[in-house]
Amino acid sequence: MNLLFEPQRQTQDYQASDAAHHIHAFVDQKALNAEGPRVMVRGEGLYLWDSEGKRYLDGMSGLWCTQLGYGRKDLTAAAAAQMDQLAYYNMFFHTTHPAVIELSELLFSLLPKHYSHVIYTNSGSEANEVLIRTVRRYWQVLGKPQKKIMIGRWNGYHGSTLAASALGGMKFMHEMGGLIPDVAHIDEPYWYAQGGELTPAEFGRRCALQLEEKILELGAQNVAGFIAEPFQGAGGMIFPPESYWPEIQRICRQYDVLLCADEVIGGFGRTGEWFAHQHFGFEPDTLSIAKGLTSGYLPMGGLVLSKRMAEALVERGGVFAHGLTYSGHPVAAAVALANLKALRDEGIVRQVKDDTGPYLHTLLHEVFGNHPLIGEIQGTGLLAALQFVEDKGTRKRFANENDLAWQCRTFGFEEGVIIRSTLGRMIMAPALVASRAELDELVDKTRIAVDRTARIAGKL
Ligand code: PXG
């Protein structure tokens, strides 16, 4: 019998055992145990099925990662073939293997030409852990070992391990033991919530100038790098004003601070460009990657380095005392290679840019442009956020926006669509292979969930 298609056990039985053994991410575990988690048993294309046989259109690509959707036989075949041939070897000391070499050849053919090297990891959090050590090592090699401080942003997200949570700006994570020394934060460029009377352009520049102020306060001779997501993902899918990135880039260059883009969510076609920094038009020194690199089929991440950084580390750095058992894991590399080939050869990234991305945003503007609950629609490509608002004129948000958005997410599940809530924003980031018909369904079901939410908010 096929376990994947026929759940072997009753849902309650799975739930009881889950409660007995697991601490889930970012939930009150006691409350979840009382409610019971949904048990997902199967995925195909954009759709998921739970253990009760209910079908969902996954509007979030798992956790922003299944670019190709579920059930791709080319990816599973690549994994099986690599497992048969060489299930494991490593890149420690003096060895390498074909899967990781071919993956990197393809990866750098897709990246802008000023990147040349990568250190592979198993996740986005690890990529950012590696980032801190690599950036500090770079400055040591250049004879500036005091350049150690990383600047991040409030409400940024860079992962859940110790240093990654410290780089991020989620205060509740910092308060739960997630902080380290030599990390500082500046404000996020969230115009809708924090822009006040300023125009988006003015506000974007003002937020960027905070970086200059922070560098001057800390002393440029002490600051190693600035890390940010090109657009904030977990923090609410927040796009900065257009004035923001050019100014940030100018400041980083002026003060010799490395510009580190966290592309864990934005990378691999999400915006219609291969990487989100290309959409915003700036040139980071490092890129943290994960998620869409393998379409989530196996864990893999990495830290991509510019030629300038790699040259210093390779030509002048000697031994870098750093390594991970699974860095460049052959099976993950084979899956990533098959995934990137499919994204390239099937023209999927181009399709997001030229067809499905514009289609989704036209649809969203038609459906939600005048919706009484929605104050702003942001995004590009297969990426969108809907901002809940109480008063459109003043951009006043609901005091209970978090609860409303969570309620909307729950309505979505009831309607058979998975969308993400964060603060007062609803997010969608479907698989990049989504068809127009699937996007119609995504928006249609989201509209029902948003209308139901508007009713309880007294807006419909
Ligand atoms: N950087 C960014 C920008 C991320 O979004 C990480 C690093 C960490 O990656 P790993 O692979 O260690 O999880 C992330 C992860 C959500 C959500 O619902 C977002 C993430 C993870 C889980 C949920 O928004 N982002």
Domain boundaries, the chain: 38-71+347-456, 74-345
What integer is the mean pLDDT of 299-327? Answer: 98
- 8 pLDDT band, cuts 50/70/90, is confident
User: Is 146 a residue whose pLDDT tops 70?
Assistant: yes
Ligand 1 within 6 A of 61 CB? no
Beta strands in 147-300 (DSSP E): 149-153, 183-186, 223-228, 258-262, 286-289
Cα(1) to ligand 1 centroid in Å equals: 35
With the most atoms of ligand 1 within 8 angstroms of its CB, the residue from 157, 300, 421 to mutate is: 157
Residues contacting 395, CB < 8 A, separation 6+: 192, 193, 195, 375, 389
- Residue 4 reports pLDDT greater than 60: no
Mean pLDDT of 109-137: 98
Residue 63 CA to ligand 1 centre (angstroms):
7
Kindly report the average pLDDT of the chain as a whole number. 97
Averaged pLDDT, 243-271: 98
Number of Cβ within a 10 Å radius of residue 298: 19
pLDDT band at 5 (very low <50, low <70, confident <90, very high): low
| Domains 38-71+347-456 and 74-345 alike in fold | no
CATH architecture classification, 74-345: 3-Layer(aba) Sandwich (3.40)
Residues 259 and 249: their CA atoms lie apart, in Å, by: 7
Q: Which two tokens stand for residue 1?
A: 């019998």
**What number is the average pLDDT over the span 410-431?**
97
Q: What integer is the mean pLDDT of 250-256?
A: 98
DSSP-assigned states of every residue in 53-119? --EEEETTHHHHT-TT-B--HHHHHHHHHHHHHHS----STT---HHHHHHHHHHHHHS-TTEEEEE
Cβ–ligand 1 distance for 157 under 6 Å, the answer: yes
* Ligand 1 contact via 60 beta carbon (within 6 Å): no
CA 77 to chain centre: 26
Q: Which of 26, 58, 63, 231 to mutate to test ligand 1, by most ligand atoms within 8 A of the CB atom?
A: 63
Residues with Cβ within 8 Å of 377's Cβ and at least 6 positions away in sequence, in order, are 361, 364, 365, 368, 369, 384, 385, 386, 387
CA 144 to centroid of ligand 1, rounded, Å: 31
Query: What is the model's pLDDT at position 2?
Result: 46
Q: What is the mean pLDDT of the segment spanning 415-444?
A: 98
Task: Kindly indicate the confidence band of residue 6, based on its pLDDT and cuts at 50, 70 and 90.
Answer: low
Confidence bin at 432 (pLDDT 50/70/90) = very high
Q: Find the 298 Cα to ligand 1 centroid distance in Å.
A: 15
Summarised one tens digit per residue, pLDDT across range 371-404 is 999 999 999 999 999 999 999 999 999 999 999 9
- The two tokens of residue 367 are 């459906």
Is the CB of 294 inside a 6 Å radius of any atom of ligand 1? no
Residue nearest to atom 7 of ligand 1 (CA): 158
How is residue 386 written in tokens?
A: 């809907």
Per-residue confidence band for 1, with pLDDT thresholds at 50, 70 and 90: very low
Would you state the pLDDT for residue 7? 75
CB-based contact 289:302 (threshold 8 Å) = yes
What distance in angstroms lies between residue 265's CA and the mean position of ligand 1's atoms? 7
**Ligand 1 pocket, residue 63 CB under 6 Å:** yes
Distance 124 CA to ligand 1 centre (A): 7
Ligand 1 centre to CA of 234 (Å) is 7
**Residue 426 CB coordination number (10 Å):** 28
In this prediction the pTM is: 0.98
Q: Is 270 in the pocket of ligand 1 (CB under 6 A)?
A: no
Domain spanning 38-71+347-456, CATH class: alpha beta
CA 217 – ligand 1 centroid, Å: 30
Residue 3 has pLDDT above 70, yes or no: no
